[in-house]
Amino acid sequence: MKDIATNILVYLTLSVGIIRQQAGARTRNRRHYLAAERHYSAVLVLKPHNTYAKRARGLLRWRELNDPEGAIEDFLDLRQSDPNYHDGLFYEGMARVELGQYAEAASLFRQFIEVAPKSKWAHSATLQLQSLNAILGDIPKQLPPSAHDSQD
Query: What is the pLDDT at residue 7?
Result: 94
| The CATH fold of domain 2-136 | 1.25.40
Cβ proximity of 72 and 95 under 8 Å = yes
| Cα Rg of the chain (Å, integer) | 18
Tens-digit pLDDT profile for residues 79-124: 998 888 899 999 999 999 999 999 999 999 999 999 999 999 999 9
Cβ proximity of 72 and 103 under 8 Å = no
Cβ proximity of 62 and 71 under 8 Å = yes
Domain ranges for the chain:
2-136
In terms of residues, how long is the chain? 152
Choose among 134, 133, 45, 61: nearest CA to 98. Answer: 61
Choose among 112, 91, 104: nearest CA to 132. Answer: 104
Residue 143 has pLDDT above 80, yes or no: no
> Alpha-carbon distance 44 to 39, whole Å?
9
pTM attached to this predicted model: 0.83
Residue 140 has pLDDT above 80, yes or no: no
